[in-house]
A and B are shown apart, each in its own frame.
Chain A
Amino acid sequence: MNETEFNLHFIPLFPLLGAVFNLLLGKQLLRSLGDRLGREVVHLVAIGAIAFSCFFTISAVFEVMVGQDYDRLVDSVYPWIVSGDLHIGFDLVLDHLSAVMCLVITGVGLLIHIFSVGYMAKDPDYGRYFAYLNLFCAAMLILVLGKSLVLTFVGWEGVGVCSYLLIGFWFTDDAKATAGRKAFIMNRVGDFGFILGMLLIYTVVGSLDVDAIARACALGEQSPLVQKLIFGVPIATVATMLLFVGCTGKSAQIPLFTWLPDAMAGPTPVSALIHAATMVTAGVYLIVRLNFLFALAPVTMAVIAVIGAATALFAATIGITQNDIKKVLAYSTVSQLGYMFLAAGMGAWVAAIFHLVTHAFFKACLFLGSGAVIEACHHNQDIRTMGGLREKMPVTAGTFFVSCLAIAGIFPFAGFFSKDEILLHAYANESRGIFTPGGMELNYILYSLGALAALCTSFYMFRLYYLTFEGKFRGDHHTWHHYVREHWIMSLPLVILAGFAAIGGLLGWPHVFGGVIHIDHVLEQWLEPITSLSGTYGGEYTVGVREQFLHEGHVGSGMELTGMAIGLGIGIAGWVFARRLYLDGPSEQAAMLAKRFSALHAASSAKYWVDEIYDVLFVKPVRMIGQLCHQVGDMLLIDGVGVQGTAGAVGVLGTLTKAWHNGNVRRYLASLTFGVAILLGVIYLNPQVSRGDILPKNAAGERELAPDIGLRRTFGAQSVNMDLFWGLFKIHLPGKAEQDAAARRGPPGGEIIRAPALEPAKNPDGRPLNGGAGGQP
Chain B
Amino acid sequence: MVPITHFLYLASTLFVIGLLGVMLRRNVLIVLMSVELMLNGANIALVAFSRFHGNLDGQVLAMFTIAVAAAEAAVGLAIVVSIFRSRTGSDIDDLSLLRD
A-side residues, CB < 8 A to B, are: 661-666, 668-670, 673, 705-706, 708, 711-712, 715-716, 761, 763-764, 767, 769-770, 773
Contact = CB atoms under 8 A, between A and B. Distances in A.
Nearest to A711: B57
A454 to B, nearest CB: 84
Nearest to B50: A711
B6 interface: no
Contact of B61 (A661, A711, A769): A711
Nearest to B20: A673
Given A663-B99, A666-B23, A666-B26, 20 more contacts: A662-B96, A662-B99, A663-B95, A663-B96, A663-B97, A665-B92, A665-B96, A666-B24, A666-B92, A668-B98, A673-B19, A705-B52, A706-B52, A706-B53, A711-B57, A716-B57, A761-B55, A763-B55, A769-B53, A769-B55
Interface residues of B, number: 22
B23 A673 contact: yes
Interface string B36-63: 0000000000000100111111100100
Interface string B77-94: 000000000000000110
B92 A763 contact: no
B22 interface: yes
- SS class of chain B's interface: helix, strand, loop or mixed? helix
Nearest to B64: A715
A705 to B, nearest CB: 7
A658 to B, nearest CB: 9
Kindly list the 10 A-B residue pairs having the minimum CB-CB distance in the complex, ordered from nearest.
A663-B99, A663-B96, A711-B57, A663-B98, A664-B96, A669-B23, A666-B23, A661-B99, A665-B92, A712-B57
B31 to A, nearest CB: 8
A708 B96 CA distance: 42
A708 B56 CA distance: 13
A661 B97 CA distance: 11
A443 to B, nearest CB: 87
A769 B52 CA distance: 11
A716 B55 CA distance: 14
Contacts of A708: 53
B57 A666 contact: no
A670 B96 contact: no
B67 to A, nearest CB: 13
A670 B24 CA distance: 10
29 contacts: A662-B96, A663-B95, A663-B96, A663-B97, A663-B100, A664-B93, A665-B92, A665-B95, A666-B22, A666-B24, A666-B26, A666-B92, A666-B93, A668-B98, A669-B22, A669-B23, A670-B23, A705-B52, A706-B49, A708-B53, A711-B57, A711-B61, A712-B57, A715-B61, A761-B55, A763-B55, A764-B56, A767-B54, A769-B55
A275 B48 CA distance: 85
A60 to B, nearest CB: 69
Contacts of A770: 53
Nearest to B54: A763
A708 B100 CA distance: 44
Contacts of B49: 706
A662 B49 CA distance: 40
A770 B54 CA distance: 9
Nearest to B92: A665
